[in-house]
Structure 1
Amino acid sequence: MAEHLSYAGRLQLVKSVLFGIQTYWAQIFILPKKILKEIEARFRCFLWTGSSAPAKKSLVAWNNVCLPRVCGGWNLLSLLEWNKAAVTKLLWDIAHKADNLWVKWVHIYYFKHKDCWTTPTPARCSWFLKKILSCRDAVNDQRGWDGFVQGNKLKIKKLYAAIRPQVPKVPWKRVTCHNLATPKSVFILWLALWNRLVTKDRLLQWHISCDPRKVWSKVLGILHVSKPVQQFSDEVDWMKKIYRSSRLKNKVIQVAFTETVYGIWIQRNAVLFTGCCKSVDALVRDIVFHSIICRVLVARLALFFMLGSDCAFIFLKLRFSLHLYCIAVLFLLTVSLCCLLVVAVCFAVSAVLVLCSAGCAVVHC
C-alpha cells in the first residue's frame, strides 16, 4: 500500500508515525549507534521505495534530508543527535532535581554527596549511567544550560538545535519554504533544486509533444506575466526575487511554478512507462485549474473575491464554464452564512440561560 503513496506522503508518514515510535525509547536509553543506523536505513528505504527492505536507491543523502528547511532539507530528526539531546534531560534531572528518589539514590550510591558535574565518572557505574554522564561534555561545549532552560524546564528541542551540525542556508530556501502548492509538488521541486530530477535536462531530448518551455510560457501568459522562458536555473533565480514579496499574485506564481515542474515530471513518467503524453493545452489546463486554482482556493478563501476578474479570465481562457466560478463563490457564501448562524444560535442560547437564571433569582427573592 505504501508504494502507492507519493514521496510527500511517505515523508509525512515517517515524520508523524515512524519517528514517534522511537521517540519514547530515545528519551529513556542511549540507543547503540548500530541500532540507530539500522532504523535510519529503514526510514530511508521506506521514503524512496515505499518498502522497508534494504535498498541502495536514494536520490538525496539522508543527512541532507534531515537538514532544516532553510538549509535544503525536510527538518527530519537526526536520530543520533536527538537521542543525545533527549537523554541529556536525564542529566538535567540528576543535576537539578535532588528531590526525586532515583536522583537521591544516584547521588548517595555513586557520587557520595559530591558534585555530580565535576566528579569523574565512577568506575562501577552502569553502562547506561556512563552514557548519561558523558553528555556533560556536550553541555559544556554549549557553555552550560542557560540557553536551553525555560521556566525551570529543559527544552530538548533547543538543545537538539544547538548540538546538531550547523550548515549554511541554501540560496533557494524561499522557493520551497511556505509554498502553498501541494506537498507532492513541493517535494518534486525540491528534488529538481537538488539536481536529482532527471526530467529537467532529458525531457527536451525525447522529442515529445509536450514541450516544457511551451507549458511554462502558457502558464505565465494566463497569469499575466510577460517574460521570456529561460533555463531552469535562471527561472529559479527569478523565482527567488518573486518569493521576497508576500503579495497574493506572487504566491500564485509560486504555486504555478511548483505545479508546472510537477506536471512536467508526471508527463516524463507517462512517456517513459505508458508511451502517451498529454498535449500542451491539456497539461496547462490541469496545472492551472486542478492544481493552482483549487489549491489556492483552499489556502486562501478570499482568492475569488480579491482576484475576481483575473480568475474569471483564467476560466474563460481555459474554456471552463463560468458556473464553476459561481459555484465557488456560492460555496464561500454558504460557509460564511453557516458560521453566522452558529454564532446567532450560541448567542440566543446564552440569552435564554441568562434570563432563566435571572427569573430563578427573582423567584427565590
Structure 2
Amino acid sequence: MDCNILIERVVARIRSTGARKLSYAGRLTLVNSVLNTLHNYWGSIFLIPKAVVRRIEAICRSYFWDGGSEYQRAPLIAWDRVCCRKEEGGLGVIKAENWNITSVGKLVNWLYTNADRLWVQWVHHIYLKDQDWHNYVPPADSNWNWRNICKVKGLISSGYVNNHWIHDPKGYNIKSGYGLLQGGHPSVGWYKDVWDAWCVPKHSIICWLIKQEALNTREKLFRLQISDSNQYSIDPRCMGLSLLQQRVCRMTLAAFWYCVWIERNAWRMDNCLKCPQRVVQEIRRLVYARIRVKTAGAVKMQDRIWLQKLDLIV
C-alpha cells in the first residue's frame, strides 16, 4: 500500500491527451525517459514489492502498445524481447525489476569492498560481526530490508571474484549489473539497417515490427499476389553504394514500409486508400525532408549527382 503512489504517478503521466496521441516512437521515448524513471529513487534504497514493480511494467507495456494503462489483447511482441538491446533485436526498454535489483546492488558492493561509509560500519556491528560477507546468511528474524539486500547479493554474487567486480574494471555500476541479470543474446544482422540514424524514428519502429514478423506485411502481399515471394532481402552494402547512398536506401525503405502500414490501416479502418502515385509522393517528401536535415547541404559531388537523378536534392 505504501508503494501504490508510484503506480498512481505512472498512470497520471499517460492520461494526458498529448501522451495518448504519440506514435510508437514517441511512446517508447516516454516509457524510457519518464515512466521508467519515476521509481528509480525508491528503487535505489530498497527492493520495491514485486506486485508493484510488475504492475508498473504492465502499465508501461500497455501504454507502449495501445496508448493507455490497460491493454486487453495479447501484445504483438513479448515484453522480454522488447527489453533486449536494439543490437539484440529489442527496443532497449529498461526492465524495472532487474533495474531495481541492480540499483540495490550498490549497497551490496559497499559491503564487498568494505567502503568507508557509516552504514557499512553499522552493518558490520549489528549483522555481520566479523563474518565473511560472501558466505553470510541472514537470520530468519532479521529486518525485512536487510534480508532483501542479502537476496540481491545472491543474485549478483556471480559477478564477484575475490570480492572484486569482474564485469567492469572501474568496479560495480548499475549498468554492468543490469547487463549481468539481463544476460546476453545474439546480435541481429539487420540492426544497422533498421536503426540507422538517418531513418525517422517512427519509421524505424514499423520496420522493427516487420523484422519481428509482427505485421506480416510480406505474407499479406504474397497472399494478395502483389509479390511473387514472401521473402524480403535488400542489403544496400552489397550494391556498391557510398555510405550516404546506403543510408538513403535504408531511410527510403523504412519510409516505404511505414507508408504501407499507414495505408493498410486506413483501408481496414476507414475503407479509404490513396492512389499509388500519392503514396510515392509522400515517401519522396519524407525522404527529401530528412536528407535536407541530415546533410545540411554538405554533400559530395558523386552523391549529389546520384540524388539529383532521383530528384531528391536541389
Q: Same fold (TM over 0.5)?
A: yes
Whether contact under 8 Å (1:7, 1:48) holds in the other structure is yes
Query: Among 184, 188, 191, which residue is 1:170 paired with?
Result: 188
Distance 2:241 2:93 in 1: 28
Residue 150 of structure 2 corresponds to residue 155 of structure 1: no
Whether contact under 8 Å (2:124, 2:130) holds in the other structure is yes
Q: Identify the residue that residue 270 of structure 1 maps to in structure 2.
A: 266
**Larger mean Cα displacement after TM superposition, 243-252 or 68-77:** 243-252
Query: Among 203, 218, 228, which residue is 1:185 paired with?
Result: 203
Q: What is the deviation of 1:198?
A: 4.2
TM-score computed with the length of structure 2 as normaliser: 0.83
Q: Which of these two proteins has the greater Rg computed from alpha carbons?
A: 1
Whether contact under 8 Å (1:199, 1:268) holds in the other structure is no
Whether contact under 8 Å (2:219, 2:230) holds in the other structure is no
Are the structure 2 counterparts of residues 198 and 25 from structure 1 closer, same or farther at C-alpha, using a change threshold of 3 Å?
same
Whether contact under 8 Å (1:179, 1:186) holds in the other structure is no
Residue 48 of structure 2 corresponds to residue 31 of structure 1: yes
Distance 1:37 1:121 in 2: 26
Distance 2:143 2:304 in 1: 70
Q: Identify the residue that residue 341 of structure 1 maps to in structure 2.
A: none
Distance 1:68 1:112 in 2: 42
Whether contact under 8 Å (1:148, 1:155) holds in the other structure is no
Q: Identify the residue that residue 165 of structure 2 maps to in structure 1.
A: 146
Q: Identify the residue that residue 58 of structure 2 maps to in structure 1.
A: 41
Distance 2:34 2:209 in 1: 23
Opposite residue 165 of structure 2, the aligned amino acid is D
Q: What is the deviation of 1:181?
A: 1.1
Q: Identify the residue that residue 288 of structure 2 maps to in structure 1.
A: 293
Query: Among 13, 24, 32, which residue is 2:30 paired with?
Result: 13
Are the structure 2 counterparts of residues 243 and 302 from structure 1 closer, same or farther at C-alpha, using a change threshold of 3 Å?
farther
Distance 1:76 1:267 in 2: 28
Could you list the runs of 5+ residues in structure 2 that have no partner in the other structure? Answer: 1-16
Q: What is the deviation of 1:305?
A: 5.2
Could you list the runs of 5+ residues in structure 1 that have no partner in the other structure? Answer: 214-229, 319-323, 326-365
Q: Identify the residue that residue 83 of structure 1 maps to in structure 2.
A: 100
- Indicate the SS of the match to 2:34: helix
Q: What is the deviation of 1:123?
A: 3.7
- Indicate the SS of the match to 2:235: helix
RMSD: 2.7
Q: Identify the residue that residue 76 of structure 2 maps to in structure 1.
A: 59
Opposite residue 277 of structure 2, the aligned amino acid is D
Compare the two structures and name the one with the higher helix fraction: 1
Query: What whole-Å deviation, never above 9, does each CA across 1:206-228 have from its counterpart, x for those lacking one?
Result: 79xxx7x6xxxxxxxxxxxxxxx
Opposite residue 181 of structure 2, the aligned amino acid is I
Q: Give the number of aligned pairs.
A: 294
Q: What is the deviation of 1:98?
A: 4.3
Whether contact under 8 Å (2:218, 2:232) holds in the other structure is no
Whether contact under 8 Å (1:297, 1:304) holds in the other structure is no
Q: Identify the residue that residue 248 of structure 1 maps to in structure 2.
A: 244
Are the structure 2 counterparts of residues 23 and 240 from structure 1 closer, same or farther at C-alpha, using a change threshold of 3 Å?
farther
TM-score computed with the length of structure 1 as normaliser: 0.73
Query: What whole-Å deviation, never above 9, does each CA across 1:131-161 have from its counterpart, x for those lacking one?
Result: 112233333323433324554x522101211
Whether contact under 8 Å (2:82, 2:93) holds in the other structure is yes
Opposite residue 291 of structure 2, the aligned amino acid is V
Query: Among 233, 245, 254, which residue is 1:258 paired with?
Result: 254
Q: Give the share of equivalent positions with the same residue, in percent.
A: 29
Q: Identify the residue that residue 233 of structure 1 maps to in structure 2.
A: 231
